Structure 1
Amino acid sequence: MTIVTGASAQPVSPPESAQQVAGAIAQPAPLLALRHIRKHFRTKRHDTLALDDVSLEVRPREFICIVGPSGCGKSTLLNIAAGIDTDYEGEAMFEGVPITGTARERAVVFQEPALFPWLNVRANVEFGLKLRGVPKEQRREIVDRHLALVNLTRFDRAYVHELSGGMKQRAQLARGLAVEPHALLMDEPFAALDAQTRDELQLELQSVWARIGTTVLFVTHNVREAVILGDRVVVMSPSPGRIKSIIEVNLERPRTPDDHAVADLAAAVRYELQNASETPEPRYAI
């Protein structure tokens, strides 16, 4: 396990050979780059600093989880990455281009499923494709593929009120993936689910991600969930939100909540989270 502290620290060990040097040089450019982000929420009476000098780079096909106490700015940071919030200081780049608003290359999955209740599951998943003018037969193929991906084929004609919480989140995930985004931004999508359904969806999401390789930025309060899903776990401090540490998760997939290695690493993340209000120290490795 490697723990790196500070907003801009990167978990890099000194290379030991020319081959390692070459590998370091060949690192892909970040898909998403957030640099020195500061975000204020201003009213007539208050000026609240929500994010303070946050820098984070996310590589292609990487699964990044962000954890932190309530009010630390996790969702605000995700909204900036999505282009939903454009009123901030600093620089947000996606594929080398400044983020100036929402774009189909970045799909968002919210905690509360944002499904249209007057449409059935198939029509919900198809909605974004229709907006893009995708031909009917092609839409059918894409929707069929993504319903199968999230195990909802049998429920394609069901309406939102007929679905369980887990099925609603599967439908929302299928709709987000159907437009083939380059990044999937997920804001506590499993927080309102019961423990068993959450465990099932964590396994399912790992399987989907392994098959399609979409870059994922995932916000959660659940430390063990972050370790189960993430390649790296970003630990944020209490408000104003700063990056306290970034923890590499070098565990085999698929991972489950009962894995001893998951529990051990989750304890380390929890320790970082409990001490997140402390001033960042120099980077260190365990």
Structure 2
Amino acid sequence: MLLNSVLKAYGETASAAGGETDKYLTMLCADILGRLPKSFDMEEAKNKYPVEYSESMNTVLVQEMERFNKLYRAISTSLITMQRAIVGLVAMSPALEDFSNSLVLGRIPNSWTGVSYPSLKNLPNYVADFVARMEFLHTWFEQGKPKTYWISGFFFTQAFLTGVKQNFARKYTIPIDKLTFDFTILKTESSEISPLDGAYVYGLFTDGARWDRRAGKLAELFPKILQDVMPLIWLIPIKFEDYNPGKRYTCPVYKTSLRKGTLSTTGHSTNYVLPILLDTDMRTSHWIKRSVALLCQLD
């Protein structure tokens, strides 16, 4: 809080410095705009991936594209307006002043966070993350359904999880509300084949523990290493009556390390994703005291 307050004070004086700041902002806006991939053609996407009874992932992809297009427009419009304001074609409003301060301090601007997925990254890392997510969807659109899914790359992760369940429910004619997930942690980072049922997902990080690949169990962190990368996780839809956590640790998955969110209109938390069962030699209370969780992205 102290450092943020100091930065806020210095940020306001920095924006008044004139020429040097204007030159930096112009360069920064041009750099970000130059790195953004093209937006999604929604008409083409709906034609190539129509709504199908047997394939819910088509709907998931199209809806994700719409959400990212909305954020893409917010980012590109604000950067272009900033460029115009610097050369005097647009009046400098308080909102633009606030936007320029965020750029100078390397923070995600407020005009972006309103339409963005949760993120605690600084500005350069946020832009790189956004570009990577867009490219993931572009690859999916061009090459077809992926064998493995980057679960952290989704804007609304619950839609993807529902899509996985829905495919299973329609394939075996089981009501979707009678399904839940079981989990198998694989020993590999990638796969050239997709599972018959469910989905392979990657992109999760451990927080408070590490995953022992050889033993296939939760283990204590190595010194000075705070996070570990999880291998592929197989999400397996099963009936509630077949669900048996056993002695596995019920590990919560969060989108960011803040571990708190607000309840959205869909009834889902903006930060919490789902619980994943992880094998362990120790009692689950040990990991609960460690506050062990999985994160979709690091800070």
Q: Which has the higher strand share?
A: 1
Which of 1 and 2 has greater Rg? 2
Structure with the higher fraction of residues in helix conformation: 2
Higher RCO, Cα 8 Å, sep 6+:
1
TM-score, structure 1 length as denominator?
Answer: 0.25
